[in-house]
Amino acid sequence: MNRTHKLIAKSLILAAAAVGVAGTTSSQAQACGGAWVPIVEEQIDWRVPGVARAEKQMDQGKSVDAAASVVRMMPHIKSLKMSEKKPLVNRAMRVLALSVARNDGRLDAAKQLPASIQDTWIGKTKEDRQANLAWASDVLRKTAERKQDDPQAQTELAEALARVDSTQKEAFQILDKLAQKDLIASPEGYATLAQLKSERGDQAGTKLALQRCEAMAKDKALCSSIARS
């Protein structure tokens, strides 16, 4: 074999070796699950903006729309538990519970909720309404326990308790204590206090609570409608 043939043979051997190394590297990369270029799949939880939107609807007085939105996002919400590890669930439960309380245990949302997820929320029967209010009271009580000394949480709890005969006394005590320090956090809270004071024959207290409600409310009719319910 002359010098030229030797150089050609050597080049072919080196080329074959290079191909083998490249193949091995490729196989290793695949065996590692594509470790060299990791694939990141972004997952978006649409409930995050959904719950924020429901909270905004509550602030705008659209409580039924807010509640229906929550039920559509979390139709199994009754089976969920409040937890420090699940702040989104806690917020959603608070919106639904407050809406249930402000609507006396019935949500006029039959057109917004498919029949398969309406459960008791529509409040067709007295038993359904009682079950809804019991659930709402429990959720708002747990919220108030987690947020001790929070006037808003206390106010919302009292709103729910006032809708149940057996807890109206507790509701009055909470709201009356808050009112003495001018800490009732919503016009609905003052309207509820006005109702409770009226039932106790406290005309001056009823008038004062209604005045405070009207000073806070965007629509003064809200105050008299709750106080008379």
- 40 burial level (CB within 10 Å; 0-12, 13-18, 19+): exposed
User: Which amino acid appears at position 57 of this protein?
Assistant: Q
Q: Is the CB of residue 216 less than 8 Å from the CB of residue 190?
A: yes
Say if residues 164 and 122 touch (Cβ distance below 8 Å). no
pLDDT band at 224 (very low <50, low <70, confident <90, very high): confident
C-alpha atoms less than 13 angstroms from C-alpha of 43 in its C-beta half-sphere: 2
- CA 158, 118, 79 angle in degrees (round to 5)? 65
pTM score over 0.95: no
Query: Is the pLDDT score of 65 beyond 50?
Result: yes
pLDDT for residue 208 is more than 90: yes
Percentages helix, strand, coil for the chain (3-state, rounded to 5) are 70, 0, 30
What are the pLDDT digits (tens) for 109-142?
999 999 999 999 999 999 999 999 999 999 999 9
In angstroms, the Cα distances linking 134 to 47, 157, 164, 229 are 25, 12, 8, 19
pLDDT of residue 26 exceeding 50? no
Residue 7 has a pLDDT of 46
Q: How far apart are CA 64 and CA 72, in angstroms?
A: 12
Q: Which amino acid, 166?
A: S
Q: How confident is the model at residue 2 (pLDDT cuts 50, 70, 90)?
A: low
**Over the stretch 147-170, which tens digit does the pLDDT of each residue have?**
989 999 999 999 999 999 999 999
Q: Cα(189)–Cα(182) distance, rounded to whole angstroms?
A: 11
The residue among 219 and 41 whose pLDDT is bigger is 219
Q: How far apart are CA 118 and CA 116, in angstroms?
A: 6
